[in-house]
Structure 1
């Protein structure tokens, strides 16, 4: 038996990422985003959804660039703190101890402590209601070499300790149960 609920956003879990923005060290900022994801392979594209009232919104709209930084168990407290504090009142870099590094292909910084940084250039902004969706092309990806298998070139997500967000809570990711196509692979 199922219970009927009012329409809501219950597609969980989601990645809990820190989005860094700003085009010079004087206005570098970051915000926590769970409404993000991949939307195209070729060209590589993704999105983030941000409330227009957020301080980072205007920074992203002005530069039309941002960086998605994957978060880890070690970064969980900073990820949560960044999501409940405004960059208009706090220097989030100083408060969290996270390190901004000048972007390689975009003006926004990336977070040095993050195992994967995805540099993005906005191609379109869609106003949806409470949030606007920034659709962006991925122009560069930086990955921590210590988390890459030298034989396969694969990123070790378990060793990275990535986290996810689900309906108001943060979770570490579980064990791998299979790889794409494993259900039909011949033995």
Structure 2
């Protein structure tokens, strides 16, 4: 395999494409599409989002000290794109997209009703990095759509049809390829004996 060398850049793709909500009143609620987000700690549960300081949501999050990460689905892909290319300075994105704000259980920022998973976050630190600042945050609540729970209480995120983002393109996720640890899992011995 022949490779060529490119200039340094962010090539960790695909990424989740999430809708981050912020604000503390109906008048200033906003939605921003974020792809630079992820897990940074299990205990306490912590996540991050990276936001350019000139974005409208930046000052809202800094002032209220919280935000919500709303996971997205194939049915929300148009809204995901819209909220990434339009500024909330001039429009109400909830009205423009017809998404429904719901009251958070632990934070001032709203949840998006149409999202199957809403992750309520309280900012712990803002790290200045360059083009973007990283908001590290503790997860204080997770809200899930009970329609995706099975009879045993297991949540099936795959059934929500989540999306991801890669090089300017949104993708749905395809088939399951394996589960954690499958490569080293011991095969079960057959209980059937030939008599």
SS at match of 1:138: strand
Matched length = 186
Deviations 1:76-98 (A, max 9, x none): 00000010000011110011010
Ranges of 4+ aligned residues in structure 1 off by more than 4 Å:
none
Deviations 1:35-78 (A, max 9, x none): 00001000000000000000000000001100000000010000
- Stretches of structure 2 that go unaligned for 5 or more consecutive residues are 188-195
Mapped partners of 2:158, 2:70: distance in 1: 17
Q: Are 2:178 and 1:178 equivalent residues in the alignment?
A: yes
Please tell me whether Structure 1 or Structure 2 has the larger radius of gyration of its CA atoms.
Answer: 2
TM-score, length basis structure 1:
0.98
SS at match of 2:79: helix
Q: Where do residues 123-162 of structure 1 align in structure 2 (5 Å cutoff)?
A: 123-151=124-152, 153-162=153-162
Q: Which residue pairs with 2:80 in the alignment?
A: 79
Q: Which residue pairs with 1:165 in the alignment?
A: 165
1:150, distance to aligned residue in structure 2 (A): 2.4
Q: Where do residues 22-33 of structure 1 align in structure 2 (5 Å cutoff)?
A: 22-33=23-34
Mapped partners of 2:156, 2:176: distance in 1: 11
Mapped partners of 2:7, 2:45: distance in 1: 34
Mapped partners of 2:125, 2:73: distance in 1: 29
Deviations 1:16-47 (A, max 9, x none): 00000001111100100000000100000000
Q: Which residue pairs with 1:9 in the alignment?
A: 10
SS at match of 1:178: coil
SS at match of 2:76: helix
Contact map agreement 1:67 1:109 (CA 8 A) in 2: yes
Deviations 1:105-137 (A, max 9, x none): 000000000000000000000000000000000
Q: Which residue pairs with 2:190 in the alignment?
A: none
Contact map agreement 1:158 1:175 (CA 8 A) in 2: no
Q: Are 2:73 and 1:68 equivalent residues in the alignment?
A: no
1:154, distance to aligned residue in structure 2 (A): 2.7
SS at match of 2:27: helix
1:155, distance to aligned residue in structure 2 (A): 2.1
Q: What CA RMSD, in Å, does the superposition of the two structures yield over aligned residues?
A: 0.7
